[in-house]
Structures are given as C-alpha cells and as structure tokens.
Structure 1
Amino acid sequence: MPKTGDATTRLAVLRGNSGSGKSTTAQEIRQRVGRGVAWIEQDYLRRILLREHDRPGVPNIGLIDQTARYALDAGYHVVLEGIFYTPHYGEMVRQLIADHAGITGVYYFQLPFDETIRRHSTRPLAKVVNAEQMRDWYNPCDLLGVPGEQVIDISSTLDDTVTRVIRDLTWTTGGTTAHPIEN
C-alpha cells in the first residue's frame, strides 16, 4: 500500500478501555495544537454514524481507516481515538501506522478496572451501560505490539499525557502546528 500523509503529518493513536481518558486527551490535544487536527473517534463513526456493533469485519473498521488516510493525505494531523480492540482492529491500525509517512505516536491507556468504572459513572453513557457490561468489555492490557507503543497509566495526569503526546510528535502549542492548515 502506498504511504499515507507526508513527512509533516502527525498521527497520534490513543487506545484503551472505556473510561480511561482517551477522549478527554484527544480533545485537549486538539485544543492545544489548534486547527489542522482531525479527531477521529471510533465511537462516533461506529455507534453514531453507522450504528454498528463492535465485531470483526464490520464496515466501520474500513471507514475509520479510510477517514484517517483521507485526513492525513489532505495534510491534516490525526488523533485516532478509541478502544480499538486488537482482535478486531489490530490489523487495520498496524497497517495505518506502517503506512504513515510522518511521525506517529501510539499510546495505550491502561487503568485498573475500578478506576474505569469510577470515571464511567460520571458520563452520560453510564445510564445505558452498567458496570457488569463494562467488565465484559474490559481488557487489562490490549497492546498492539508495535515499536514505540507507550502505556499511559493511572499516575499520568491529563496535562502530563497531553504534554507527552505533543512533545513526542514535535507539535507546538498555541494554535501553531508542525504543518498548519490555513484558515
């Protein structure tokens, strides 16, 4: 497959269990970096756009891949965020990482189950998904096994995590990116 993006595009892959802080981190990265960052949420494309269940081989996997590639090829930086359970999404995510021409950072948010439940209880989804269902989804260490993959644990604050990702990908803050998109 040909390379996607170019040497100036950045790809941040944020993976982990529900309630581990991925979305909050993605939102804060986008806020700090500014324009030119495409936030691609697995839940939005899978649950909202396609109303699809999380199973292997369903159309949302290809849609997520194509959306990320399109944004990178258009010169956007991409924050790809979701659970991305390895048996279902691993091949797609690994290939996207391998095909990306720019700098890529891969982060797995690994928190204890009790902490994910505590965080989940503060979200609107808690009215629909209970702790027992969360336990069925919980995977304590679902790493992709790609070079450079980093684990974000409970000791990393939001500021620590966002600062780490921005530093790793050599972004700057204050609305300026390594390759800004014009307004």
Structure 2
Amino acid sequence: MPSLGDPTSRLVVLRGNSGSGKSTTAKELRQRIGRGVAWVEQDYLRRILLREHDRPSAPNIGLIDRTTRYALAHGYHVVLEGIFYNPTYGTMLRELIADHAGVTGVYYFQLPFGETVRRHATRPLADVVAVERMRGWYQPCDLLGVPGEQVIDETSTLDQSVDRIVKDLDWTTGGAIAHGIDD
C-alpha cells in the first residue's frame, strides 16, 4: 500500500471494551481540535450503516479501513474509535498504522468489568444491551502489540485522557483552518 496521509496528519486509534470511555474521549478530542477531524466510529459504520454483526471478514472491516484511508487521503486527521477486537480487526488496524505517514497514537482503554457496567448504565444503550451480554463481549486485555500502544485505565479522567492524546500527538487546536471549512 502507498503511504497514507502526510507527515502532518494525525491518526488516533481508540480501542477498548464497551463502556470504557472511547466514544466520550473521541467526541471531546474532536471538540477540542475543531474542524478537519474525521471521527470514524466502528459502531456507526457496523451497526447503523450496514446493520452488520461483528464477525471476522465482515464487510464493515473493509468499510472502516476505506473510510479511514479516504479521510486521511483528503487532508483530514482521523480519530478511529471502537471495540475493535484484535482477532477480528487487528490485521486491518496494523496495516492502517503501518501505512500512515503522519503521527499515530494507539490507545487501549483497560477498565475492570464492573467499571464498564457502571458507565454503561448511564448511557441510552443500557436499555438495549443487558449486562450479561456485555459480559460475553468483555476482554480483559486485548492489545494490538504495536509500537507505542498505550493503556488508559480507570484512574484517567476524560480531561487527562484527552490532554495526554493531544500532547502525545503534538496536536494543537485549530486544525480545520488549513481545510478552510466553515462551522
């Protein structure tokens, strides 16, 4: 694959169990950075757009890959967020990371099951997804094993997590100015 993005582009990969804070972090990160940041959300592409089950070789894996590549190729920074189980998504994610020409940050949200349940109870999805179903999905540690991968645990607040990512990627706000995109 050819080089993806350019030396100034940013790719942030946020992974972890359901209810671990990935989406909240992605939303806050995008809010702080501003326009020019594409939020590629696994749940939206898989569950909403395609209404696909999470399984190896499902079409959503290619769609996530192509959406991320498209955004990077067109000058956007990307926050890629989802559970992204290593056995199902690992190859695709490692290829994206290897192909990216810019700065990449990979973060795994590692929280105890009880904490993910507590957080899940505060979300609208709690009425749809039972705790026992979450237990079946829960992986205690599902790292990709890529260089620089970092763990965010339950002691990190939202602000601390976002500050860490912004600092790690040497990312200043106002990224959209280069894109000329109005609010």
Establish whether TM, by shorter chain, passes 0.5. Answer: yes
1:21 corresponds to 2:21: yes
Letter matched to residue 180 of structure 2:
E
Which secondary structure state, in structure 2, belongs to the residue aligned with residue 106 of structure 1?
Answer: strand
TM-score (norm 2): 0.97
Q: What residue is the counterpart of 2:175 in the other structure?
A: 177
Number of aligned residue pairs: 181
1:178 is displaced (CA, Å) by 8.7
Query: In 1, distance between residues paired with 2:93 and 2:177?
Result: 23
1:16 is displaced (CA, Å) by 0.2
Query: In 2, distance between residues paired with 1:21 and 1:5?
Result: 27
Q: What residue is the counterpart of 1:72 in the other structure?
A: 72
Counterpart contact for 1:170–1:178, Cα < 8 Å: no
Query: In 2, distance between residues paired with 1:163 and 1:53?
Result: 34
* Aligned structure 1 segments of 4 or more residues deviating by more than 2 angstroms: 177-180
Which secondary structure state, in structure 2, belongs to the residue aligned with residue 180 of structure 1?
Answer: helix
Query: In 2, distance between residues paired with 1:13 and 1:75?
Result: 17
- The structure-2 alpha-carbon separation of the partners of 1:98 and 1:178, relative to structure 1 and needing over 3 Å to count, comes to farther
Q: What residue is the counterpart of 1:6 in the other structure?
A: 6
- The structure-2 alpha-carbon separation of the partners of 1:55 and 1:35, relative to structure 1 and needing over 3 Å to count, comes to same
Counterpart contact for 1:5–1:75, Cα < 8 Å: yes
1:180 is displaced (CA, Å) by 3.1
1:121 is displaced (CA, Å) by 0.7
Q: What residue is the counterpart of 1:130 in the other structure?
A: 130
1:93 corresponds to 2:93: yes
Counterpart contact for 2:34–2:176, Cα < 8 Å: no
1:177 is displaced (CA, Å) by 2.2
Counterpart contact for 1:9–1:179, Cα < 8 Å: no
Q: What residue is the counterpart of 2:40 in the other structure?
A: 40
- The percent identity for this pair of structures is 75
Counterpart contact for 1:107–1:150, Cα < 8 Å: yes
